[in-house]
Structure 1
Amino acid sequence: MRLALGVCYLGTAYQGWQSQSTGLTIQDKLEKALAQFCDVPRVSTLCAGRTDAGVHGLMQVVHFDTLLERDASSWVRGTNRYLPSDIAVQWAQVVPESFHCRASATGRRYVYILLDSAVRPSLETGRVGWIYRPLSEDAMRQASLHLLGEHDFSSFRASSCQALSPVKTLRHIQISKRGAYWRFEFEGNAFLHHMIRNIMGCLVSIGQGNQSPDWIREVLLAKSRDAAAPTFSPDGLYFAGPIYSPEWGLPDTTPAFDWLP
């Protein structure tokens, strides 16, 4: 039986998603909890999109194969019993064996939350990025238009990126503000390592008037990481989840979506 899970987590205390020898990753904690619930030595999972250290997950989707048959609510409650308080399974659903959490995804979504304040974050530490100089919404929106569509995003790619190709398609970028909080939403077919954080560095530089909106097009065409702004903080970055065809019948969001500004 193949099971899919929707998982939310706060990434502040962890070394990213992918399992490491330290055991201090989201995958390590989830697999340990699943093994305890299933009463087996090990459970191996695959995820829809790996996240870096400090990056959060609103709806990470994982799948794994198991012989244990339980109803969906038992999988949720039983696994959460063994998870730390900053990681929680939100839903569980049996899926066909043809389902693959990564390969079946038609797109992925990220959200970046940025606090615009003269005073650094306190209650939101680790949950938001921070700037103390005002941003121009119009300038950032103009700049974001240059990024839409299919492009070679080498200028926004980390040197450690393992993607086979730097060519990706950005379908949607939305920028809005609620009170002191900026919200940046990104949707694309796939993303490169550090791609969103590197785009954020450029958008913030443009929003603060350090560069013109057209500069981001020059960065894009340069196809060189050296052309772009420094990588922005991981603190306010959230993996909002993969996008699947309705035929799979999987949830599209979790309650955490409504928690964000």
Structure 2
Amino acid sequence: MASSRSRTLSKYHNWTREELIAQLEKLDVDSSQHEILPRKEGSFFNFASHPRRKIALKFCYSGQEYNGMAFQKDKTPLPTVEGVLFNALTQTRLIDPNKGFEGCGWERCGRTDRGVSAAGQVISLWVRSAINDGIIPDSDQTETASSQGVLNPDDVNDELPLLTVDAGSSFSSRVTRSQRSSIATSEIPYIQVLNRVLPSTIRIIAWSPVAETFSARFSCQFRHYKYFFPATKDLSIPRMEDAVGRLVGSHDFRNLCTLDGSRQIDNYIRHISHAEISQIGPDESAMDIGPMYVFNLIGNAFLYNQVRNIMAILFLVGSGLEEPHVLSSLMNGDPKNPVPPYRPGEKIEVVDRKPSYQMAIGLPLVLWDCGYLTEDVKWQTDDDPPTATGETESVITSNVRHQLSSIYMRSRIRSVIDGHFLRASSRYHDLPYTPLPFTDDEARDATLTHEKTTLNIPVGAGVHIRTAKYIPLLNRARGDTSEAVNERWRQGRGKKRLERQKLQGEDTPSLHTINIAS
């Protein structure tokens, strides 16, 4: 019996309390990554007896771990960021899982594709609050409130951040003196609570109380994207900068995005307020592939895959395969409103349909920030955890900065090791592509690249397309017009979707009125 008990305890009996808790939390997260979890039987929580408030959450995530930002109803190879976030919010009982995304008024600032990361993504939603502001549910109203679940945002007025409810709602504003003494005066530490159950690849970094009318998507004033890439010897930064300068202003980007009929977009004009390429500080691990650069792009809104399509053209220009003014031609899609030459003497062609080309890899792309008016959001963090002599490791690591610093340190170590692997292999193998000598003072002739036996065209993240012959962009086969793409979807999948929704009794807008912008 003793030996049997010893064998049973041998796996865990030497673990510390913190290690056991960490392992249990990891198992909880791993088991809930791929699906929205329903509330467990026997674990009833009366959300209706708690006040709610509308907040915005700002968070970062590593895109390579996820199947994109947006939750998908169908099974996905990797979890989605929204799916993991939703599970964390329900696990901490901040939202009611039975009400779904609609029940908490969930809105995201923008979508990101599989592999694309974010440093400042934002969602807005209604969550449970610890601040009651004198609103206590009457005992004779408990059953009614319980049956109704969470509060309807329409029942909450604009006096935020403290929750107040109209007298006609299911909550009464009559509060006794003894009840007032028990009213909470400090808010739930949303950041600490959520980061405890979220995987390390998603970190909540700030939150803000917001008004009832606030929308993470439509209240956003600008979105800032960054695309990181190394400046190899066969990539001209000055040529890329020449092309980038043409992006600033309002332009038609139908040839610089992915046309998707399900979005039914008929306006492809987007305004770019800032576009530049800048060098990042020297990095020892990158010395074999050249200094790192970042393409910064700021605009009010973006089309589907717009940044990755633009970056693909910049790589072609930087490689000497296309001239910088090809970007002006691609933004010259409307013959009735021609784009003027960016420089005197440039020939700008009308390109009414998108030529065939592969967009850049998503891994180096980051949604860097989502900007809002200062009167709309006031980003804040939780109160610092109490410190004392001999504070535990769990207290130290609860700080977001410590957590992200630890993640960054491990990433740097892996990067340095990978760099040494590259150096070690260089004694026996050539680089996967042959760099061409070239100085920034001279404009490289594209024919020099064409004379190579095999072309290696960069598409980001160290990935190259190998081809024996390069066809100039404007000489390639072109796809359908955006109008034809939209009509084909309406007559195909869109028509089937409407029929299915009618059978289910759902109220849906006309296919001609659906317009989903980025």
TM range (shorter): 0.7 to 0.9
CA-to-partner distance for each residue in 1:161-208, whole Å, 9 max, x for gaps?
Answer: 724521111111010123421101000110001100000000111011
Match 1:60 to one of 115, 121, 124: 121
What is residue 33 of structure 1 aligned with on the other side?
88
Q: CA separation in 2, counterparts of 1:203 and 1:72?
A: 47
RMSD: 2.3
Partner of 2:416: none
Aligned residue identity for 1:244: Y
- What is the identity, as a one-letter code, of the residue corresponding to 1:22? K
Which of 197, 200, 203 aligns to 1:82? It is: 197
Query: CA offsets, 1:105-142, max 9 Å, x none?
Result: 111110001134xxxxxxxxxxxxxxx55322221111
Of 140, 144, 149, the match for 2:240: 140
Q: Is the 8 A contact 1:72 1:91 kept in 2?
A: no
Partner residue, 1:181: 292
C-alpha distance in structure 2 between counterparts of 1:206 and 1:73, whole Å: 51
SS at match of 2:368: strand
Contact 1:201–1:230 (Cα < 8 Å) also in 2: yes
Q: Indicate conservation of the 8 Å contact 1:73/1:92, yes or no.
A: no
More helix by share: 2
What amino acid maps onto 1:47 in structure 2?
Answer: R
Q: Does residue 165 of the first structure (1) align with residue 226 of the second (2)? A: no
Deviation at 1:241, TM superposition (A): 2.1
CA distance 1:183–1:36, shift in 2 (3 Å): same
The residue that corresponds to 2:10 in the other structure is: none
- In the other structure, the counterpart of 1:101 is 216
Say if 1:164 and 1:29 are closer, same or farther in 2 by CA, change over 3 A.
Answer: farther
Equivalent-residue separation in structure 1 for 2:274 and 2:360 (angstroms): 20
Rounded Cα–Cα distance in structure 1 between residues aligned with 2:233 and 2:260: 31
Task: State the distance in 2 between where 1:64 and 1:213 align.
Answer: 43
> Which stretches of structure 1, 4 residues or longer, exceed 4 Å deviation after superposition?
70-73
Secondary structure at the aligned position of 2:255 is classed as helix
Counterpart pick for 2:130 among 64, 69, 79 = 69
Larger CA deviation: 15-24 vs 207-216: 15-24
Cα deviation 1:88-120 (Å, max 9, x = unaligned):
11112211112111111111110001134xxxx
The question of whether the paired residues in 2 share the 8 Å contact of 1:72 and 1:92 is answered with no
Question: How far has the Cα of 1:72 moved from its partner?
Answer: 6.0
Q: Which one-letter code corresponds to 2:58 in the other structure?
A: G
Q: Which runs of 5+ in 2 are unaligned?
A: 1-52, 132-185, 283-290, 333-350, 381-399, 409-518
What is the match of residue 120 of structure 1? none
C-alpha separation in 1, matches of 2:116 and 2:187? 27
Query: 1:218 Cα shift?
Result: 1.3
Task: Give the equivalent residue in structure 1 for 2:22.
Answer: none
C-alpha distance in 2 between matches for 1:33 and 1:241:
23
2-side partners of 1:145 and 1:72: how far apart? 46
Residue-pair matches, total: 240
Change in 2 beyond 3 A, CA 1:203/1:251: farther
* Richer in strand (by share): 1
Q: Which residue in the other structure is 2:372 paired with?
A: 244
Partner of 2:354: 225
Shift of 1:67: 3.5
Give distance in 2, aligned partners of 1:194 and 1:106: 19
Return the letter of the residue paired with 2:61.
Y
Match of 1:22 among 75, 81, 90: 75
Q: Which amino acid counterpart does residue 147 of structure 1 have in structure 2?
A: L
CA distance in 1, matches of 2:207, 2:62: 19
Residue type of the partner of 1:154?
R
Matches of 1:164 and 1:4, distance apart in 2: 30
- If you compute each CA radius of gyration, which structure gives the higher value, 1 or 2? 2
Q: Which residue of 1 aligns with 2:161?
A: none
SS at match of 1:7: strand
User: Structure 2 CA distance, aligned partners of 1:72 and 1:145?
Assistant: 46
Q: Does 1:204 align with 2:315?
A: yes
Could you tell me whether the CA contact under 8 Å between 1:72 and 1:93 is conserved in 2? no
Residues 223, 186 of structure 1: alpha-carbon distance in 2 compared, 3 angstrom cutoff: farther
Distance in 2 separating the partners of 1:199 and 1:207: 12
Report if the CA contact (8 A) 1:143-1:214 is conserved: yes
**Structure having greater relative contact order (Cα 8 Å, sep ≥ 6):** 1
SS at match of 1:32: helix
Structure 1 residues 159 and 72, CA gap change in structure 2 (3 angstroms): farther
TM-score by length of 1: 0.84
Distance 1:107 1:78 in 2: 29
Q: Whole-Å Cα distance in 2 between the matches of residues 48 and 113 of structure 1?
A: 22
- Look up the SS of the partner of 1:193 in the other structure: coil
- Aligned to 1:246, the other structure's residue is in SS state coil
Give the match's secondary structure for 1:247: coil
User: Where does structure 1 lack aligned partners over 5 or more consecutive residues?
Assistant: 117-131
CA contact (8 A) 1:157 1:166 kept: no
Give, in angstroms, the shift of residue 73 of structure 1.
6.7
